[in-house]
């Protein structure tokens, strides 16, 4: 099926005209110069609109390999590489504007075994990289970790032409190798030789005169430790024809050689963002080491309950700046610098990539580098990575927020997790303000008590007890997807329209508390600038109940941690009280869900 993307000028024509024009003359065919990674009409999110493209399909590559979700497959035995050690098979090298491609001599290099169905004839290898600012650029990621570079060795099923191979669901085998940057690796070996051919000239194909083999480039990487899944080409037309092999161990090369890719070619960040698995299974060869297990839980039925999280290896959970905390409103300090936030794309209804059940929470993962938050005294621009929830039991009275205010626990808490835009995730979790989390309390929109008390609320608490302040349709849509992720580690794409603004609704985003803390799950890195909003988001009780019932687990919140030497600050509007104490006490009796500021 062809999907047509019209030129902007065409969109301005009357719609009846469009019908006449859709006869082919204005189709944008997938040709070299039509697409790019950034800064043109067809960047990755629009590749699916290119005519003849499969980029919007359900079996796309690359993907994030979540090691705790992979399944070991005993059929993934050793590979048989033919002529990988030959020093005369690399024929030419060319910068084609999207990548640097090394073409091999025809019919000399082969791959079989490794669980592949038959023999594949290797035709070329090429690279994906980031930029000169040390921004990594591998296409696949492992547990969210992106390596600096990825090398793809491309082979076609033996006997098939390129046209036949792209039409066969396993017509192509790509071997993916991560390339890792070392501080002091060899500067004179095969990678120096290969990168000495790099050029910014996209017209000339250079002949490789040096003796250099594919094995020389792969080095000592274990070829028995690998992942396998069925996917696609990672550039348009993204044909779903690839049996992917991603090797677990990276090739380690000197960072100065890695820098040559962006620096000399002038191309940066030439990688496609990760795509949804859509139910696909990633397999691992038997030799691949099992993932680091996460044997932690919230209750007492596992090896590491919260009081023992600090014993997990590399854990920061025993630190002095841990989260969550109890917010004592008597002790908060007003900070005038805590101004309003700027929210970018919070109203985008297609920003959520997928929703997953991690076994500890329900997490909505957002499309990369799209939704942002800044201001609010943060000092940096932060990219929103995901949001997730903490909840209690199935009981209507259940309380499951992580933060508490004057020891009051709310029914639920939503965490919007963001990362400093100028850092990689690995850097961010090691930097005191590398992450910023926005915490929103969630409680029931109580329809029975609402009308009597809302009229007497103070000026700083607009409609605290009226009906839902958020868009209930968005919450219903979100919770409807829970039935598809009942199994732990399952995920599902969200195709219906939901924005973060829809979920937050009219909640006051100017009144908030601020402190320095940590992630609230292992490894509890002390990298988080916390914002906890004073006003709660109001949703229907029935929606809240779906969290414990559909996932099957309850009370997923960490107990409050000691403040130690920390101070909790507040924006000026969060510090102001709700009015005379007498009136407040009266209100507190009427409606227990007001903030207990003066108790
Ligand atoms: C590996 O490939 C070579 C050449 O195609 C072949 O002779 C050999 O039998 C293969 N070995 C295995 C273990 O498949
Ligand atoms: C390996 O390469 C040599 C030449 O270097 C060639 O003669 C031989 O046929 C190749 N092997 C295969 C299986 O293609
Ligand atoms: C292996 O490939 C052949 C054709 O090349 C095909 O007929 C067969 O079904 C494939 N086997 C599997 C297990 O996919
Ligand atoms: C990647 O390189 C760094 C040094 O730059 C090293 O600490 C790390 O262990 C390497 N990663 C792997 C998986 O080899
Ligand atoms: C290409 O690189 C050469 C140096 O190797 C430089 O002089 C030239 O300006 C570059 N061209 C472009 C278009 O960047
Ligand atoms: C967080 O810590 C930094 C120093 O690492 C400090 O400058 C900042 O004021 C602290 N913020 C809060 C809210 O305590
Ligand atoms: Zn590639
Ligand atoms: Zn959380």
Q: ∠ CA(499), CA(500), CA(502), 5° rounding?
A: 65
- Contact between 84 and 296 (Cβ < 8 Å): no
Verify whether ligand 6 is closer than 6 Å to residue 256 (CB atom). no
pLDDT tens for residues 247-291? 999 999 999 999 999 999 999 999 999 999 998 999 999 888 766
pLDDT tens for residues 508-521? 999 999 999 999 99
Residue 291: what pLDDT? 61
157 CA closest ligand 3 atom index: 5
| Residue nearest (by alpha carbon) to ligand 5 atom 10 | 200
Q: How confident is the model at residue 6 (pLDDT cuts 50, 70, 90)?
A: very low
Verify whether ligand 4 is closer than 6 Å to residue 225 (CB atom). no
Measure the CA–CA gap between 131 and 137, rounded to whole angstroms: 7
pLDDT tens for residues 118-152? 999 999 999 999 997 778 999 999 978 899 999 99
Verify whether ligand 6 is closer than 6 Å to residue 118 (CB atom). no
Measure the CA–CA gap between 381 and 425, rounded to whole angstroms: 14
Higher per-residue pLDDT: 469 or 184: 184
Measure the CA–CA gap between 335 and 531, rounded to whole angstroms: 13
Residue 32: what pLDDT? 47
Q: Of the candidates 551, 569, 519, 269, which has an alpha carbon nearest to the alpha carbon of residue 392?
A: 551
Higher per-residue pLDDT: 4 or 431: 431
586 has pLDDT over 90 = no
Residue 467: what pLDDT? 56
Residues carrying an active site annotation: 98
Contacts 24+ apart (CB under 8 A), 183-188: 183/254, 183/255, 184/254, 185/252, 185/253, 185/254, 185/255, 185/257, 186/253, 186/254, 187/254, 187/256, 187/257
CB-count exposure of residue 145 (10 Å: 0-12, 13-18, 19+): middle
- Contact between 516 and 324 (Cβ < 8 Å): no
How many angstroms separate the alpha carbon of residue 76 from the centre of ligand 3? 16
How many angstroms separate the alpha carbon of residue 207 from the centre of ligand 5? 20
pTM of the model: 0.57
Q: Of the candidates 289, 528, 504, 500, which has an alpha carbon nearest to the alpha carbon of residue 429?
A: 528
Sequence ranges of the domains in the chain: 2-284, 314-574
Measure the CA–CA gap between 194 and 125, rounded to whole angstroms: 12
| Residue nearest (by alpha carbon) to ligand 3 atom 1 | 117
Taking phi over 0 as left and psi of -120 to 50 as alpha, with beta for the rest, 429 belongs to alpha
| Residue nearest (by alpha carbon) to ligand 5 atom 9 | 200
DSSP, res 236: T
- In the 3-class helix/strand/coil scheme, how is 10-64 assigned residue by residue? HHCCCHHHHHHHCCCCCCCECCHHHECCCCCCECHHHHHHCECCCCCCCCCCCCE
Orientation of helix 541-551 relative to helix 472-480, angle to 10°: 10
237 has pLDDT over 60 = yes
How many angstroms separate the alpha carbon of residue 92 from the centre of ligand 3? 33
Element of type H or E holding 439: strand 435-444
Measure the CA–CA gap between 213 and 301, rounded to whole angstroms: 53
Measure the CA–CA gap between 162 and 77, rounded to whole angstroms: 27
| Residue nearest (by alpha carbon) to ligand 1 atom 7 | 82
| Residue nearest (by alpha carbon) to ligand 4 atom 1 | 180
How many angstroms separate the alpha carbon of residue 409 from the centre of ligand 5? 62
Residue 461: what pLDDT? 42
- Contact between 191 and 257 (Cβ < 8 Å): yes
Residue 576: what pLDDT? 64
411 has pLDDT over 60 = yes
* CA-to-CA dists, residue 495 to 64, 125, 367, angstroms: 20, 35, 13
The contacts of residue 456 (CB under 8 Å, 6+ apart) are: 583, 587
DSSP, res 378: -
* CA-to-CA dists, residue 250 to 129, 219, 308, 362, angstroms: 14, 10, 33, 31
Question: Residues 414-432: what's their mean pLDDT?
Answer: 96
Q: Which fold has domain 2-284?
A: Carbonic Anhydrase II (3.10.200)
Residue 485: what pLDDT? 85
266 CA closest ligand 5 atom index: 14
In three-state secondary structure terms, 9 is: helix
Residue 582: what pLDDT? 34
Residue 301: what pLDDT? 64
458 has pLDDT over 70 = no
Residue 450: what pLDDT? 40
- Contact between 245 and 251 (Cβ < 8 Å): no
- How many CB atoms neighbour CB 112 within 10 A? 16
432 CA closest ligand 6 atom index: 5
567 CA closest ligand 6 atom index: 14
CATH topology agreement for domains 2-284 and 314-574: yes
Residue 143: what pLDDT? 79
Strand ranges of the sheet holding 404-405, from the earlier edge strand across to the other edge: 326-327, 404-405, 408-409
- Averaged pLDDT of the chain: 86
Q: Ligand 4, residues 222, 252, 254: which to mutate, most atoms within 8 A of Cβ?
A: 252
Measure the CA–CA gap between 537 and 403, rounded to whole angstroms: 15
Measure the CA–CA gap between 126 and 133, rounded to whole angstroms: 21
Contacts 24+ apart (CB under 8 A), 582-588: 583/456, 587/453, 587/456, 587/457
Of 167-181, 431-445, 471-485, 529-543, which range is least confident?
A: 471-485
Q: How confident is the model at residue 293 (pLDDT cuts 50, 70, 90)?
A: low
Q: Ligand 6, residues 376, 434, 516, 532: which to mutate, most atoms within 8 A of Cβ?
A: 516
How many H-runs (helices) and E-runs (strands) does the chain carry?
13, 31
Residue 447: what pLDDT? 54
| Residue nearest (by alpha carbon) to ligand 2 atom 11 | 108
405 has pLDDT over 70 = yes
The contacts of residue 217 (CB under 8 Å, 6+ apart) are: 151, 190, 191, 194, 251
Higher per-residue pLDDT: 597 or 575: 575
- Contact between 445 and 540 (Cβ < 8 Å): yes
The contacts of residue 533 (CB under 8 Å, 6+ apart) are: 438, 439, 440, 441, 507, 508, 509, 511, 512, 513
Measure the CA–CA gap between 492 and 482, rounded to whole angstroms: 9
Alpha helices (runs of H) in 424-506, residue ranges in sequence order: 425-428, 450-454, 472-480, 500-504
Task: Please check whether the domain covering 314-574 is classified as CATH 3.10.200.10.
Answer: yes
The contacts of residue 66 (CB under 8 Å, 6+ apart) are: 143, 282, 489
8 has pLDDT over 70 = no
Site residues for ligand 5, CB cut-off 6 Å: 200, 266
pLDDT tens for residues 27-59? 334 444 589 999 899 999 999 999 999 999 999
How many angstroms separate the alpha carbon of residue 599 from the centre of ligand 8? 27
Share of the chain above pLDDT 90, in %: 72
CA atoms within 13 A on the CB side of 471: 15
Measure the CA–CA gap between 450 and 316, rounded to whole angstroms: 43
């Amino acid at each position: 099926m062809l999907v047509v993307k019209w030129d902007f000028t065409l969109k301005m024509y009357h719609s009846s005209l469009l019908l006449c024009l859709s006869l082919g003359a204005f189709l944008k065919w997938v040709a070299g110069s039509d697409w790019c990674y950034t800064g043109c009409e067809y960047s990755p999110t629009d590749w699916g609109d290119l005519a003849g493209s499969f980029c919007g399909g359900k079996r796309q590559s690359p993907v994030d390999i979540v090691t705790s979700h992979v399944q070991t497959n005993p059929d993934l035995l050793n590979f048989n590489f033919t002529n990988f050690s030959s020093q005369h098979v690399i024929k030419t090298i060319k910068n084609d504007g999207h990548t640097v491609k090394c073409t091999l001599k025809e019919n000399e290099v082969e791959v079989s075994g490794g669980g592949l169905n038959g023999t594949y004839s290797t035709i070329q290898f090429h690279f994906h990289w980031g930029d000169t600012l040390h921004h990594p650029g591998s296409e696949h990621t492992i547990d969210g970790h992106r390596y600096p570079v990825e090398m793809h060795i491309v082979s076609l099923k033996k006997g098939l032409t390129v046209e036949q191979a792209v039409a066969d669901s396993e017509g192509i085998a790509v071997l993916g190798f991560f390339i890792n940057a070392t501080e002091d690796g060899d500067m004179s070996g095969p990678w120096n030789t290969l990168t000495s051919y790099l050029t910014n000239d996209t017209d000339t194909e250079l002949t490789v005169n040096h003796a250099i083999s594919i094995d020389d480039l792969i080095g000592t990487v274990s070829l028995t430790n690998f992942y396998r899944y069925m996917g696609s080409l990672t550039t348009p037309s993204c044909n779903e024809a690839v049996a992917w092999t991603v090797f677990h161990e990276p090739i380690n090369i000197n960072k100065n050689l890695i820098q040559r890719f962006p620096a000399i070619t002038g191309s940066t960040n030439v990688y496609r963002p990760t795509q949804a698995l859509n139910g696909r299974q990633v397999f691992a060869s038997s030799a691949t080491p099992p993932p680091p297990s996460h044997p932690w839980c919230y209750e007492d039925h596992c090896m590491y309950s919260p009081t023992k999280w600090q014993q997990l290896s590399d854990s920061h959970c025993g630190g002095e700046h841990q989260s969550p905390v109890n917010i004592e409103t008597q002790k908060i300090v007003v900070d005038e610098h805590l101004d309003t936030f700027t929210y970018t794309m919070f109203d985008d209804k297609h920003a959520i990539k997928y929703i997953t059940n991690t076994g500890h929470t329900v997490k909505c993962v957002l499309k990369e580098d799209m939704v942002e938050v800044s201001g609010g005294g943060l000092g940096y621009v932060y990219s929103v990575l995901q949001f997730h929830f903490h909840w209690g039991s199935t009981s209507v009275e259940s309380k499951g927020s992580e933060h508490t205010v004057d020891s009051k626990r709310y029914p639920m808490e939503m965490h919007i997790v963001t990362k400093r835009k100028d850092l990689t995730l690995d850097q961010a979790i090691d930097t005191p303000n590398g992450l910023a989390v926005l915490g929103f309390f969630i409680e029931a929109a109580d329809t029975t008590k609402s009308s009597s008390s809302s009229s007497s609320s103070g000026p700083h608490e607009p409609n605290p007890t009226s009906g839902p302040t958020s868009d209930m349709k968005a919450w219903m849509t979100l919770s409807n997807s829970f039935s598809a992720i009942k199994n732990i580690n399952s995920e599902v794409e969200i195709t219906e329209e939901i924005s973060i603004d829809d979920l937050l609704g009219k909640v006051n985003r100017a009144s908030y508390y601020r402190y320095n803390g940590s992630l609230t799950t292992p490894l509890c890195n002390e990298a988080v600038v916390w914002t906890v909003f004073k006003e709660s988001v109001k949703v229907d009780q029935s929606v809240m109940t779906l969290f414990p019932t559909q996932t099957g687990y309850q009370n997923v919140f960490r107990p409050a941690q000691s403040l130690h030497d920390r101070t909790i600050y507040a924006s000026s509007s969060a510090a102001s009280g709700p009015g005379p104490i007498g009136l407040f006490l009266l209100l507190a009796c009427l409606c227990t869900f007001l903030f207990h500021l003066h108790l």
